[in-house]
A = this chain, B = another copy of it.
Amino acid sequence: MTRRIPQARERGIPDATVARLPLYLRALNGLAERGIATVSSEDLAVAAGVNSAKLRKDLSHLGSYGTRGVGYDVQYLIYQISRELGLTQDWAVAIVGVGNLGRALANYGGFVSRGFRVAGLFDADPAVVGERIAGLVVEHADGLESVIRKRGVSIVVIATPATAAQQVCDRVIAAGVTSILNFAPAVLTVPDGVDVRKVDLSIELQILAFHEQRKASGGPMMGDEWPDGVVVVSERGAALGEASQ
């Protein structure tokens, strides 16, 4: 009878843990820059803004990389987390939609520094196509599929208006992309096996407003009635990345 020795790094690191690994990585890089060679879970937890028990449990999912009585070797842990996150390889990223946000993303310094390389900028507006941004020439969205295949793009950032998002999404998936970062305020429908993460400024602000309201009053005005004459104004489809797409 073969007893399975419970092995960390089995398969399946909890999502919540994966979401925190980049945080630890950043904290570790900060420590490394300050020349710190070893760190305890307690100190690293403070630097990353989490509870130390949680940090230890998270790291235990990767393996036993700490030394009891001492802590974690900063460089070694940086390497292990980077490897787990897939940052030891180079990822080609394409940005679709070169509006205000698309430009900001293209110029984002943190891209290059972490294994992500902007391999293409796309827009549907002829007025924008040809423009040079962050060392890249904006290409017409017509060439999306071929460029994705040719340059091995595996992650696409959608920064188009909401109305164009699904269409762009469908096209890049057809071209083989399975990881999408969506800045457009739209729900993307994708087949199984495709990962979508969304970033939405408007939603974040609304969540803050909720808590702010709770703090200010003791909750929203009591009474669930329709006030007379209320007309709820429709939300515009305005996108954070509302570009010329």
Contact = CB atoms under 8 A, between A and B. Distances in A.
Interface of A: 9, 11, 18-19, 21-23, 25-27, 29, 32-33, 47-49, 63, 65, 75-76, 78-80, 82-87, 89, 91, 93, 99-101, 103-105, 107-111, 113-116, 154-155, 178-181, 185, 187-189, 193, 195, 197, 199-213, 215, 219-221, 224, 226, 230, 232-236, 238-242
B76 A206 contact: no
B224 A63 contact: yes
A46 to B, nearest CB: 9
Given A185-B26, A195-B212, A213-B86, A201 B236 contact: no
B211 A179 contact: yes
B234 A85 contact: no
18 contacts: A21-B206, A23-B187, A26-B235, A27-B187, A79-B230, A85-B209, A100-B104, A101-B108, A104-B241, A105-B201, A109-B238, A109-B239, A155-B209, A178-B215, A179-B212, A181-B201, A195-B208, A199-B201
